[in-house]
Amino acid sequence: MTGLEPSAEELDAPHVRAFLPMIYVAWADGELTAQELLMIREQLAGMPWLDRRARETLRRLVDPDAPPSAELLARVLRTVRLAAKNLDDERRLHLGRLGVALSKGDPNVEDALAVVMDALSIDAAEAGQALLGGHPAPQTAAPTPSFDPEALRAELEPRAREVRARARAFLENHENRIERDQSKEDAREAVKRVVQRLAEEGFGALAYPGVTTDATDLEEFMTVFEMLGFGDLSVLVKYGVQFGLFGGSIFFLGTQAQRDRWLPQIASGELLGCFAMTELGHGSDVMGLRTTATYDRESDRIVLHTPDEGARKEWIGGAAAHAQMATVFAQLEVGGEEHGVHAVLVPLRDDDGRPRPGVRLGDCGHKLGLNGVDNGRIWLDTVSVPRDHLLGRFAAITDAGRYESPIPSPNRRFFTMLGTLVAGRICVGSGGVSAAKVGVTIATRYAFHRRQFGAPGEPEMRLIDYPAHQRRLMPALAQSYAAAFAIEHVRRSYLTAEDEDTKRSVEALAAGVKAFTTDHATYALQQCRECCGGQGYLSANRIGPLKSDTDVFTTFEGDNTVLLQLTAKALLTDFRKQLSDDRVFGVLRYVGEKLARAARETNPVTKRLGSTEHLRDRDTLRGLFEFREKTLVEAGARRIQRRIKRGMAPHQAFTAIQVHLIDMARAHIERVVFDAFVAATERAEEPERGALDRLLVLWALWRLESDLGWFMENGVAEPSRAGGIRREVQSLCDEVALSAQAYVDAFGIPEASLAAPIAFGGAAGV
């Protein structure tokens, strides 16, 4: 019946639904004979009360020349189970009475079904038991939450609400959805169409405030990126590459004339581009890029060249199929003098989509995820471009052929250029959080209706009622809130930073928060996959594809391990002048010991009679996060100083304690996240404040529990008392689980974006 199979809407018509249980049982029992099919058709013809559309749908379901496919039978069964799930046993387990119920009580149905089933020798009671049998679980109503999910959403989304509403409407539109299981090529074209639709609706223009929009900053663009994380992540990444990276490079690094020339075409989707920084031999080490950009005085042009295979541009989103132009990062040479890495605009394809002379393009091929993004490779063989294609905000070549820059220091100029990547890192982090929210929502909804096991003779238990299930899923829910508030904090810090010192501080903060949020996405989605069992493994239920698509988030826009080292370096900045002065460590030791004493005195873990009140005290929790952070910073500074005194170069000393520095950076970021979570909680009014406070304390104790070994090693937690934290985490998991559905409803994920049968009470493939 391929190509003519009834749609979901046709199957769900009441008169069609009435016959679906009987039709499913008949076909599932074996091939119907021609005589049986003829009899069914005659019976349908003799039912004048059937409307024309229902009769035609039923005739197609019993067409002897086109028996239903296995997929269609699965859809029929799914439709029946969803429609029957709230019926009592008397109606569920008898095909005749079930048909009447599914037809919404039409009295004609029962007699008609009886005639057909008698002719097919189907026992209505026996078939009903086989179809929907088993001990039915009672319908357990979720307790009414103490808070309003809509009010809680307002705390998660304090700003840019109008553009959020527009983005939600875009996601709800089924024309903007990407079908699953397409070929790589078809997926890329579908993603391109959706991104161009985003441009048509003005979402691309939001990336260039003051040029293509009247907005004063990037808040609306960054908000749209976050919202697109609820949908297809290939669209998210393609949107980010086109408007954020490619267009953003011109916006941040270009002159006003360059902005005015190219950004309107980019914002409208007329000019598609890519961001060619990463090379095969150099990814995180941008300063070591090998592509060259040599100014030729005679032709007054810049010649770009790939000197060897290791210098080819690699993993460039847009390069394989669609990009017409690239922002190429290369080592600039003017008049025989090298000036370091600069950005140059290089046309890649002509109007017919063919590579331009000297440009060779390759396809990275099928990937673990994000196959709607056309990642490719770029080789440049002495490709020349006009002099004004050098992005000139921080550097230019004059008419006389001389290099000029308002920033005299090459290192400072380089890091100023790289500072333009901060917004991208924040966006990637927000996209990871959005994807994690989708996974947590699907798994949480599933946990409330999926049942298994139970006491003999008793109904099976819901997954959400199992303490072990709560222990796996509720921390992921709490950390999704923590990550969302962290992203909001770093986004506001970025948008309001004015002086250079603050901007450098935000760069380190954004690096650490990007690592935290994308690591969270990886962790949370894995927990959600396992919590949904085999259903979580089905692509139709979205968690698997989300896992695959977000896996790369931990290594693009900055590898998380490298970014945490950037954060660690910033933390040690205050010690640079003091590394050779032993006196500072006497002060630091005193401060550290004082903090440790304060933690021991206020932390109930070390008390004989620790209480829930003490464990849930914000000041106690904050003190523990702060103590761990400061202790690790002091130890890091001390270790580097010792190595430098022994004659080790600073870079070698830093590398030697790399693992410690990463732990130090993580401790710092978790303290920052805690503070952001507290600030968000304090902004809320009751009862939402109480709802957030439960999540805050659960998250904080869960993170501290994960590092109990360190606290014991440093004399803060006594081993005999550490069990108090574990018991409190379990208690909080149980409390949060009671309102978990309301907590995930507050994420405001469009139903069309969830798009997972198990999120709506169904089971894909069943």
Q: Is the dihedral of CA 507, 513, 516, 522 positive or negative?
A: negative
* Residues 333, 293 contacting (CB under 8 angstroms): yes
Residue 301 backbone dihedrals phi, psi, to 5 degrees: -135, 165
Q: What is the pTM of this model?
A: 0.80
Residues 293-305: pLDDT tens digits? Answer: 999 999 999 999 9
- The more confident residue out of 66 and 706 is 706
Rounded to a whole number of angstroms, the distance between the first and last alpha carbons of the chain is 19
pLDDT at 611 over 70: no
Tell me which residue has tokens 């409208």.
Answer: 268
pLDDT of residue 577: 45
Spatial separation of the C-alpha atoms in residues 403 and 397, rounded to whole Å: 5
Q: How far is CA 207 from CA 157, 202, 233, 267, 481, in A?
A: 20, 10, 19, 8, 26
Residue 265 backbone dihedrals phi, psi, to 5 degrees: -70, -35
Q: Classify 315 in phi/psi space as left (phi over 0), alpha (psi -120 to 50) or beta.
A: left
Residues 479-537: pLDDT tens digits? Answer: 999 999 999 999 999 999 988 888 889 999 999 999 999 999 999 999 999 999 999 99
pLDDT at 765 over 50: no
pLDDT at 579 over 50: no
pLDDT at 436 over 70: yes
Residues 535-560: pLDDT tens digits? Answer: 999 999 999 999 999 999 999 888 99
Show contacts of 581-589: CB within 8 Å, 24+ apart: 585/634, 585/637, 585/638, 585/641, 588/634, 588/637, 588/638, 589/634
* Residues 656, 643 contacting (CB under 8 angstroms): yes
The confidence band for 578, taking pLDDT boundaries of 50, 70 and 90, is very low
pLDDT at 147 over 60: yes
The confidence band for 596, taking pLDDT boundaries of 50, 70 and 90, is low
Residue 408, token pair as written in the block: 């005299």
Spatial separation of the C-alpha atoms in residues 109 and 58, rounded to whole Å: 14
Residue 668, token pair as written in the block: 């710092």
Q: Which of 561, 564, 529, 537 is nearest to 443 (CA)?
A: 529
Spatial separation of the C-alpha atoms in residues 480 and 430, rounded to whole Å: 11
Which DSSP string corresponds to 305-342? Answer: E--SGGGSEEEEETTTTT-SEEEEEEEEEETTEEEEEE
Across the strands, what pairs with 361? 378
Domains of the chain: 8-132 (no CATH), 273-417 (2.40.110.10), 424-754 (1.20.140.10)
What secondary structure, in 3-state letters, does 524-564 show?
HHHHHHHHCHHHHHCHHHCHHHHHHHHHHHHCCCCCHHHHH
Residues 73-122: pLDDT tens digits? Answer: 777 777 777 777 777 777 777 777 777 777 777 777 777 777 777 666 67
Residues 327-345: pLDDT tens digits? Answer: 999 999 999 999 999 999 9
